[in-house]
Structure 1
C-alpha cells in the first residue's frame, strides 16, 4: 500500500471529459449500448449489464500488410488489409496499427483527458492530441453518457492516478509501468482514510461517477461510501445522481479546512486539494472523527484480480480502462464479460503488446466506404496474426478514431474516415503517443501535396523535411528548386498545373537533398461518373443555380472538379458558369428544355433546364390534410405538426418532427405520417426530390417512405447521418429507386438503429420545408412528340404516325443486332444529336436524357454515368446508326420487333 497525501500536481501533464447532462434519465454507455432508467431519489443508478462470460472462437482472418511509415523515432504506422468470410461471402477491410517500441527512450504512451486535462470536459481524439502534443492517438475507455464524463475504468496519466476502476466484473485495463513494462490485467481498488485519532474508514474510489457495482453488498456505488475527488474533477457535482445526501470534507495540504454536513460544498475542488465525499455510514464517520484543522491521510492500492497482489499506482506511468480481454498468450481468449452489447461488424479499437513486452500495438479497424469493419472474434484473429501476445478491447463503433502525424508534417491528422465520415465523436479519454527526442540533423525531405489532379487544375506543393529522429524540421529556407517530368503537368515555385492525362514525377531539390513524388493527372477515361450537385434548373432568363461537379474515379475515389477543368456548352439558351454558378442569360424562342453540358476531357454530364424544372410539391403554407406522429415502439413519444418557422424560416410554416426515444429500446422510428395511411400523391414519374431540412446533429438516420403505383413500399435515404444543425437543402436522386408512378409519400422519419445506439441522440427535433419533385413528364419531357414510327431492315423509308417518307440510310441487321439511324428517330420523337468528327462522339439530347455515344465503342455516358452496351454505334453512308436496344432502354421509348417482316416499331 502506498501512503499518499493529496497535494499539488502538474496540471499541464495531465489530460480528461465532460458528458452531456441528462435531466430525467441516466444513459449509461457500456460497450456501445445504452441502459436507460429513471433517477428518482435512490432509484436506478446505471446498470452495466453483467452477464456470464462468453466463450469465443476466433474467426479466420487473412492479414496482408500494405505498408508502413515512421511517425517518430520508436513509433511506426502499419497499414493492413484483411480478408474473411461472413455467411459464405468474402469480406475485406482495413486496419491501422501504431507500433510503439518501449525500448526506444524517446517514445512513450500516455492517457489524454478532455480539455486541459480535466475529467469533466470532453473532446475529440484529434482535439486532445493537438492540445497535448501527441504525434498519434486513439480513442479510449467506455463511459457513462449521462454522467459527468469520468471513465468507467481506472486511469493513470503522467504517473498520477486520476480515476480508479469501477467495481464491475471482467473489465480489463492496459498499463505501462515507470520502468516501461506493459501489462494488461483486471483490477479492483482498496484504500482507507485515517483520522488523527487513528479511526479509519475504507475508500471506495477516486473521481468516480455514480453507477451500480457488481458482486458487492451495495446496489449503489455511493451508498454508505467514501470517495476522493481531486482537482482533475472540475464539475460542481461530485457526482451527478449519487442518490443520497452527501457530507463533504475539503482537505488542503493534508489538513481538513472545511466540513459541510448533509450538503455538498458549493465549490469546485481547489487546485492541489481534494474533497472527501461521504454518504450514510461514511458521513457518520466524518461527524464522529473529523474536525477542521486536523490532519488526514489516505492510503490505497490497485489489486490484481488475477494474482490478488497489490499494485502501487505510483509505479505506473499510465493506465487506461477497457472492456473484455481479447488475446492472452498469443491466442484468442475467452471473453471476460458478455459482448452481446458490442457485437456485430463495426469499427473497432484495441490495445495489446508483444510477447517480449517490447512493442505496444495501438489498433484501429476502419468501418467506412473502404472497409467493412470487424466482429470481435475477427479482431481476435487479426490481433494474433500481427503478433499481439496479450490484448484488450477499447470503446469502438463511432468512437473509433485514430490520428497520426505523417512523416515531415507538424500536426496529427485523421488517419481514416470514421463511421461518421470526418466527424470525430467527443469522448472521455484517449491514448496518445509522445516523443521527447531532441532536435536532430536533417535526414530526409518529402513533397507534400495532392497525388491526383484534374486537367487544368492548379495546386500548391511544399517541401518538408524530417530529422534523424523522424520529427519535422524546417527546410523551406533552402528555397527549393522544382521540376516535373512526363509532360502531363508543369511546375513553377511549387505551383503545379495539370496539362493532360498521365503521370508526372515531381522533384524538389534543396541544397544536396532532393525528393520526388508521383502526381497522376486524370483523364476522362479514368472516370466512372461526373455528378452535378444541381442536376435540374429552371429555364428562364436571370435564373442562377450552384453547379458543383464531382468526379468518381475507376479507383473508387471522389474528386471535386475545379471550374478550370470543365468546359461548358449551352443548348437552347445563352448562359455562363462563373465561380461554380450557372446563370441563364437568355432563352431561345420556342425552347422549353435546355441543357448545360459540362465536359471534362470528353466525359460529359448535363444540367437539364426546363420551364417547370423542380415542381413545388409542399411548402406547408396551406395544409388541408392531417399530419400525425407515429412510432414502432410505444415508449417512444413525439409530435408532428405544421408550426411557424423561426430564424431564416420566420414568416413561413414548416413541418416539425420532435421525438423522445429515451424510454424505448431496440430499433426505434419517429414518423411524421401524411394524411392517415393514404399519404400524399406524387402524380408523375419523379427523377429527383429536393427538400429543406433543419438538422439536430443527432447522428440519426433520416428517411422517406413511399408507396408506389404497384403497391410496393419504397424507402429512400434522405441522409444517412443527420450531422448538421440548422437548415440544409438536400437533393435526392430517385432515378434508381424503381418506383412506379403515380406514387404517394407516406412518411418522413428519423431512425435510431440498435447498433451503436449510445453514439446518437435519443431526443431531438427536425423540420422540413419546400419539398419539390423533378417530374420530367411535367417539365423537361413535356411536349415531346407522341406516336409511333415504323422502319424495315434494308428499306430507306420511315412511317411516322401513318405518314411515309424517304430516309437516306436504312436500318440494318449486323451480328444479330438491329441498328437504326438515330437522326430519324429523333426527328420523329423529339430531341437532337450533335456529331463531333474529331472525337467521333455523338451527343444525343432528349427530354431529361443526355446520352454521349462514341463510334465503335460499347461504353456510353448517360447523364454523367459511364455504362456499357452489348454493341457499339457505327457509321454507315455518313449517318450514325445506333443499336436498337440503346433506343429502347436509354431514351425512354418502347420498341417492338416483327421477325417475319423484319420491321421495327418505335412508340412514345
Structure 2
C-alpha cells in the first residue's frame, strides 16, 4: 500500500489459505459450491495412467486421468511427483518465501529456482489476514524456522536425516533460560497471532515467543492484542531491551528477538539484562506416540492439514475441512508415502477451465488407488501448484495450469525436490517444444540433452535431424507448421541418439466452444479492435488460439486482421450491424458490431464533484477513495484511486468509491458498452460497478470477475445485456471480497480507474417478425396474409417425421443473411445478434460459437438446402406451430 491508512488493534483469527466454502448472497446473486456427489446415481472412478516423464534420477512425473462412470461428469487430472528415497542423490526440503523469509510469500516456481531445485509443490495452509506465515511447523535442512500452532488435528509431513518419511501430529515445547538460571516457557517460533484450540485463546497473550531474521514482516506479529516487550539477543548475549514497543534494530543472522507479554514481559524485564547471556531450547513431540524429537534430526518438515490416509485406507478427517473447501470440488495438493517408506508421492489435482478439481473424499480415493500408505492434505484451491524441470531443460516450469491459468499464487512455503548427482556422460537427447498445436501455428523445436543421471547437459556439438510422420504439416529448420488436424510423432536424431515427441494438432471435432472477446463492439471505420480468440475443448481444456490460426470473414464492413487485432477499413452503406466471424478449422463464432459514437464519460481531469468512501461491514472496513495524481503509470494525470483493507471484517466485504457523493455520473441515452482503464492489484478480488437506471432499478455490473493483473489494463463492460432504461447513473465503483473462498483473495489492496468511455449503437438491431404459413407439399405460402411463392414445397422427411422447408425462403423472409459453403456443406445464418451454422449430414450445429447436438440435419434436394423447420425457426427466436390435420406450418 502506498499511503498510510487507519490501523486497527482488533484481533482476528487468520483465514486459512485453502478455499473457505459458504453459500453467501451478495447483491442479488448467490454462489453455491459444486460437488461430484450425485443425489441418486452412484458414480465410480477409474485412475488411468496417461503420461510419464523423468525429472531426474530418482524422481518422475506421472499424469493420471480420474475417469467417471457417468460420462456427463468431467474427467479430472491428477499429477504425481514420485520420489524414490532409495536413490542416494535425491533429496526433499522445505521451500520458503523470498530469501528464506517465512512471511514473504513467493510463487512455487520462484522458490524452486531460488534454491536450485528440480521440482516442487506448494505446502502449508497459511493466514491471509496477517503476515502469511505457515500455520504448521517448518524445518529447512534440520533448522526449525516455524513452530507448530496449538490447533487440533493438524498433521505435518517430514523426512528424517536418515531418509525416512513421516506424517504425524506434533506439538511444540521449549523454554528460554536467563543468565540467573530462571526459565520461562517458550510458546513458539516465528508465529503469527491466532486463536488456540480447544480453548479459543489468544496465542500471544501472556506468552513468550522467539523471532528470527526469517520473520521479515514489519510487526512481530500484527493483530495480536498485545503490547510487546522485546530483547534482542546476538551471539547468545542480550544487546537491547525495549519495553512496550518493538525493537527497530534488524535481527542479524546470529541473533533473535525474545518477545513477551504480561508475565512473559515481566520475565524479560526482571531477568534479562543487556550484556547477559541467554539461551533457548525446544523440541517437537508426536501427539500419537508421545515420542519427543530434536528438530535437527529432521531433514525437512512442512505443515499440512487433515490426515487423509492411514495404513493404506481413507480415514475420517482429523480436522474440520470446511475451512479448506473439503466437500467442494477444488484444486488439491497432498503428500504421502508408500508402506515401505521408500517412495514419497507429491500430488496435485487440476482446477482450470471445465476441470473442477475434486473433494477431499475423492482425493482419498485417488490416493488409495495409487497405493499410498499414509497421506496428508496440503493447501489447495488457488494455492495448488506443481512445477517440474522437463527432461533436458535447465529450469523448472508449471506442470499444469493453476486455478488462474499461468498465474501462480504467492504461497508461504512448499516441498522442493533436489538432486546432488555428479555430472554424468551423455545418455540421451530430447525434442523440446510444444505438444499441443493449432493448424497454421508456427512452433519452434530445439534439441536438449541429458546425462546418465537424467540431468541436463549442453547439447552443443550435436547435429539434430528432424522429421514428422503423418504428413500433418511442414518442418524446416526446427520449425513445424501443421496444415491439418491429427496426431503425429516428431522425431529427432543426433548420432546414435534418438527421441520422439507426440504432437496433437487440435481439430474442429475437438472444439466445444469458440470465444471472441473484443475490446469494443463499436463498428467505426478506422478503428482497431483487439479480438483474442479462445477455444474450449470437449475434454475441458481452455486454450488461446494463435492469431495465425484464425481465419476471418467480415459481413457489413471491410477490414483486416493481424496479430490478434482487427482494423475496420470501411463500413457498408446503411449497415446497421457488422459481423466479424472467426473460424478455426471451419468452426466459427461471431463478434457482433454496431455503428455508433463513443463519448467520454469521465477522465477525472476537471472534476467539480466529491468522491467518497464507504465499506461493508461498515465498522471494520478501512479505506479511501479520492481523485488524485502520482499513481504509477499515470503520474502526470488524475485518476480515481480506491484503497481498501478488509482484514478486520467478516462475511462478504465491500469497498465503495461513491461518485458525486452517491448521486453518480449520468449515462445519457442507452450506451451499449463502457470501456475504462483499471489499475489492477492482482488481488483476485471481484470488481464491479453500480448503475441505477431511469426506472430506479439497481444493476450490479461486472467489470472483472477476478482482478488477476497488475498495472493498467483497458476493460470493456457490456451494458446492453443489462437492459438499462435510461437515462441511467453510474453511482459506485467497488471491490468485492466474497465470503466463499475468501482465502483465495487478498484482504488489502489498491485499484484505480481512468478514462471511462461510453459507446452507443446506432440503434437496436432491427429484425422483422412476419407470420409465415406454409403447407406440406405445396409451393404456395402466405407472409403476413400476403400470397408468396416458395422455390420448393415443404415436405416430411421419411424416418424422421420432421418437416423440412427451403432455408433460403424462410431466412430471407425473416430478414436473415444466409451463406452457403459448398465445400464444407455448411450453411451460415446471420440474424440480429445470432449466428447459426449447420452442416448437411452432420448432427451438430453451432449457435454463436457453441456446439450443440441436433436430432435431424439439413439436406440438399434439387440444388436447394432444406432445414428442419422447428430447428431453424426456434434458434432464430421464432415460434412454430404445426397443424397435423391441415398439414400447415406457421412461423411467427
| TM-score, structure 2 normalization | 0.82
| Cross-structure match for 1:69 | 53
Alignment match of 2:163 (pick from 170, 177, 180): 180
Instruction: Give the deviation of 1:691 after TM superposition.
Output: 6.6
| Cross-structure match for 2:146 | 163
Secondary structure, counterpart of 1:534 in structure 2:
coil
Alignment match of 2:828 (pick from 823, 834, 843): 843
Contact 1:710 1:740 survives alignment (8 Å) = no
- Is 1:880 paired with 2:865? yes
Partners of 1:63 and 1:129 in 2: how far apart? 32
Alignment match of 2:99 (pick from 116, 119, 125): 116
Mapping of residues 123-134 of structure 1, within 5 Å:
123-134=106-117
Mapping of residues 5-20 of structure 1, within 5 Å:
none
Partners of 1:22 and 1:436 in 2: how far apart? 48
Mapping of residues 709-858 of structure 1, within 5 Å:
719-725=704-710, 728-730=713-715, 751-762=736-747, 770=756, 778-779=763-764, 781-782=765-766, 784-785=767-768, 787-801=770-784, 803-804=786-787, 806-815=789-798, 816-858=801-843
- Partner deviation per Cα, 1:50-88 (whole Å, 9 max, x = no partner): xxxxxxxxx9974514243322212222333446799x9
- Partner deviation per Cα, 1:731-750 (whole Å, 9 max, x = no partner): 57899x8x999799999875
Assess, with a 3 A threshold, how the Cα gap between structure 1 residues 541 and 710 changes in structure 2: closer, same or farther: closer
Instruction: Give the deviation of 1:131 after TM superposition.
Output: 0.6
- Partner deviation per Cα, 1:781-802 (whole Å, 9 max, x = no partner): 33x5564444443444454455
Instruction: Give the deviation of 1:707 after TM superposition.
Output: 12
- Is 1:458 paired with 2:432? no
- Is 1:583 paired with 2:567? yes
Contact 1:896 1:906 survives alignment (8 Å) = yes
Assess, with a 3 A threshold, how the Cα gap between structure 1 residues 836 and 119 changes in structure 2: closer, same or farther: closer
Alignment match of 1:274 (pick from 238, 256, 279): 256
Secondary structure, counterpart of 1:754 in structure 2:
coil
- Partner deviation per Cα, 1:569-624 (whole Å, 9 max, x = no partner): 33343322233332232334444434343444433333434334x9879779999x
Assess, with a 3 A threshold, how the Cα gap between structure 1 residues 562 and 79 changes in structure 2: closer, same or farther: closer
Instruction: Give the deviation of 1:495 after TM superposition.
Output: 0.4
Higher alpha-carbon Rg? 1
- Partner deviation per Cα, 1:515-565 (whole Å, 9 max, x = no partner): 122323334444334332229744443232222233333444344333433
| Cross-structure match for 2:395 | 411
Partners of 1:898 and 1:741 in 2: how far apart? 40
Assess, with a 3 A threshold, how the Cα gap between structure 1 residues 773 and 635 changes in structure 2: closer, same or farther: farther
Alignment match of 2:553 (pick from 565, 569, 587): 569
Secondary structure, counterpart of 2:99 in structure 1:
coil
Partners of 1:250 and 1:626 in 2: how far apart? 49
Partners of 1:503 and 1:601 in 2: how far apart? 15
Secondary structure, counterpart of 2:461 in structure 1:
helix
Assess, with a 3 A threshold, how the Cα gap between structure 1 residues 385 and 689 changes in structure 2: closer, same or farther: farther
Instruction: Give the deviation of 1:844 after TM superposition.
Output: 3.3
* Structure 2 spans left out of the alignment, 5+ residues: 21-41
Contact 1:810 1:821 survives alignment (8 Å) = yes
Using the TM superposition, name which of 134-143 and 724-733 deviates more. 724-733
Partners of 1:274 and 1:651 in 2: how far apart? 45
- Partner deviation per Cα, 1:823-880 (whole Å, 9 max, x = no partner): 3334434343344443333333333333434334443344333334333333333333
| Cross-structure match for 2:413 | 429
Instruction: Give the deviation of 1:896 after TM superposition.
Output: 4.5
Alignment match of 1:448 (pick from 405, 410, 432): 432
Partners of 1:756 and 1:689 in 2: how far apart? 29
| Cross-structure match for 2:33 | none
Instruction: Give the deviation of 1:224 after TM superposition.
Output: 4.9
Alignment match of 2:463 (pick from 450, 472, 479): 479
Contact 1:840 1:855 survives alignment (8 Å) = yes
| Cross-structure match for 1:341 | 323
Secondary structure, counterpart of 2:113 in structure 1:
helix
Assess, with a 3 A threshold, how the Cα gap between structure 1 residues 684 and 838 changes in structure 2: closer, same or farther: same
Instruction: Give the deviation of 1:288 after TM superposition.
Output: 4.9
- Is 1:866 paired with 2:851? yes
Assess, with a 3 A threshold, how the Cα gap between structure 1 residues 476 and 246 changes in structure 2: closer, same or farther: same
Using the TM superposition, name which of 452-461 and 692-701 deviates more. 692-701
Partners of 1:397 and 1:644 in 2: how far apart? 36
- Partner deviation per Cα, 1:397-440 (whole Å, 9 max, x = no partner): 32222222222222222223333333322222211111111122
Partners of 2:637 and 2:235 in 1: how far apart? 62
Contact 2:82 2:345 survives alignment (8 Å) = yes
* Structure 1 spans left out of the alignment, 5+ residues: 1-19, 36-58
Secondary structure, counterpart of 1:368 in structure 2:
coil
Contact 1:888 1:895 survives alignment (8 Å) = yes
Alignment match of 2:351 (pick from 348, 367, 370): 367
Instruction: Give the deviation of 1:445 after TM superposition.
Output: 2.2
| Cross-structure match for 2:30 | none
Mapping of residues 893-908 of structure 1, within 5 Å:
893-907=878-892
| Cross-structure match for 2:34 | none
Question: How many residues align structurally?
Answer: 856
Partners of 1:232 and 1:717 in 2: how far apart? 41
- Partner deviation per Cα, 1:622-655 (whole Å, 9 max, x = no partner): 99x9999999967675899997899689999999
Contact 1:322 1:393 survives alignment (8 Å) = yes
Partners of 2:537 and 2:195 in 1: how far apart? 52
Assess, with a 3 A threshold, how the Cα gap between structure 1 residues 828 and 629 changes in structure 2: closer, same or farther: farther
